[in-house]
Amino acid sequence: MDSGIHPNTKWTYHGTGGLLDLLQQKDQHQRNTILLHLNQTHHLVHIEGVLSTHKSILRAIASRRLPNIDQALRVAMHQGMSAMLDFAHLALGLPATLTVRAIAAVPLLQASPATPSIEDIVQSVDMAFGPLLHGVAVIRRPVHGTVGVDEIATEECLWWNDATNHVLGICREHIGEWVRTIDSYEDVEVLVEEMKRKVIHHAVEATVCAVTLLSLDTRLGSARPIAVSGTCKAEKAPEHRKLLQTMLDGIAAAKVLQGICIVCYASDGTSMCHKALCDMTTKRLLHRESNIFPYLGHLPLLNLWVGDDDLTVDKDYKHVAFKRVHNAVLRADGINVLGMLLTSEILCTHLQDESQILDLKEPTLTTLFNVADKQDVNRVYRLAFLIWELWCVPIPNHREATYLLRLSAAAHMLLALYFHEGAKSRFLPNPLFIDIMLMIKNAYFCVAKAKADNPRSAWFLIWMGTNSLESIFGVVRTMVGNDLNTDMLQLAQRLSHSVEVTNVFAEYKVLE
């Protein structure tokens, strides 16, 4: 009586409430049974698919139908590496995933709160190249390297770096004698007050300097960031020249790079950096006692002005030879070639006339001549290739062609077109013309230095420019999913991790 009527009793003895309770219980039991059956069915289907995939992989390995099956398996294991590490941690007592991530093979690069000093550069060079060159006999003969400098946008915010007790995110131009460390609450109040008075500003970009060794070894040939410094874009050429010279002095003072010869300073061609680098690389004429003078001294029209240690300046070919030339062609005034005006409308008309041969459609032409978008590299390459095909110019055989002869021919043609009837800026903007000439000059000097120091080593023209540094920026941008932007502290950390990523891909090439 205490527990009520037994569920197995005939329905005649149940009341209305009891019958409703029994109905709900049976409905719930039925639903649970159906769900259990569905779950078991899904599980069996999953197991069947896994077994089928497993059998397919075994058959593929046995029949050798997939020549790159080892790479596919390595990539699959790499994608599930986190789960494998967690399993190994629980089963074998190995370090956990967070522990593995915390132990970095490359020490973290520390961003500078102001203009980096020589001591800061030396310390960064030791951290970047020390683990790489330790015990490696690469200094048996002079190894050439380039110094690349470029800017990357950063978020306008301040961060305290607990490793150095520095405040990051302030521009180096106006930091002056302001205290760069936080030792008390008063320091925070002073910082806030100076920011309100606009005495100091947020850094809108970060200047990143990196050293790249010219080597066939992919581990040595990757860019190694050695300095990160914030700027508000108010810096003048003399101050920027001091920064660039500090980089060179720090590299020269680093013992780990003894035997490394810096052959050029590469940039993306901004006007301020252009002025600073030109001042550094036009100090004197090339000495007759220089080991590269026998290769260059007899060239009558070559610019022989150099800096210390015969240093020259290089421009990134993607920015200069493609994007900036493309923008010059599509500008409203067009370009003046031997007295004839060539505009984007004329080019578009020629391409329309040959649209059937070139397999072009009207929407494609509209996109190609979109002057609003100046950063679309694919569009720049596409238009350059179509112009190449428009005049039916045969593609040169690079194995037989001499690059230096073609560069010399290009320089002479540009010189003639630039000064024809005083065209000058009506042909190409003056800074663009100068940058192209400097880029060609640097190629000659780098080849001469390679022949003088390493006559039997390989040398490739594609090594020039800031391509290796741009690759590092690409890794930084895509390192954390949807978080593309970085502040100064995150940028320094990601640059350090990007070097680690580069080392992993260089050592395990099957992951590429």
In sequence order, what are the residues at sequence separation of 6 or more whose Cβ sits closer than 8 angstroms to the Cβ of residue 20? none
Q: What is the pLDDT of residue 179?
A: 53
Amino acid at 135: G
pLDDT band at 265 (very low <50, low <70, confident <90, very high): very high
Instruction: Write out pLDDT tens, residues 224-257.
Output: 899 999 888 888 888 899 999 999 999 989 887 8
Contacts of 404 (CB under 8 A, 6+ apart): 443, 444, 447
Q: Taking all residues of the chain, what is their mean pLDDT, rounded to a whole number?
A: 79
Alpha helices in 217-324 (DSSP H): 237-253, 271-281, 293-296, 317
Work out the pLDDT band at 402, boundaries 50, 70, 90. Answer: confident
User: Which one-letter DSSP state was computed for residue 41?
Assistant: H
DSSP 8-class letter at 209 = E
Pick from 402, 418, 459, 410: nearest CA to 439: 410
Mean pLDDT value of segment 65-77: 58
**pLDDT digits over 411-430, tens only?**
999 999 999 888 899 999 99
- Taking 50 as the threshold, does the pLDDT of residue 158 lie above it? yes
**C-alpha torsion sign, points 56, 59, 65, 68:** positive
The pLDDT value recorded for residue 416 is: 93
pTM for the whole thing?
A: 0.76
Q: Taking 90 as the threshold, does the pLDDT of residue 97 lie above it?
A: no
Q: Note the pLDDT of residue 186.
A: 81
Q: Which two tokens stand for residue 109?
A: 């690069």
* pLDDT above 90 as % of the chain: 18
Lowest mean per-residue pLDDT among 183-187, 299-303, 433-437: 183-187
Q: Is the pLDDT of residue 148 over 80?
A: yes
Phi, psi of 283 (to 5 degrees): -85, -30
- Reported residue count of the chain is 512
Q: Please give the backbone phi and psi of residue 504, each rounded to the nearest 5 degrees, phi first.
A: -65, -45
By C-alpha distance, which of 22, 24, 28 is closest to 8? 22
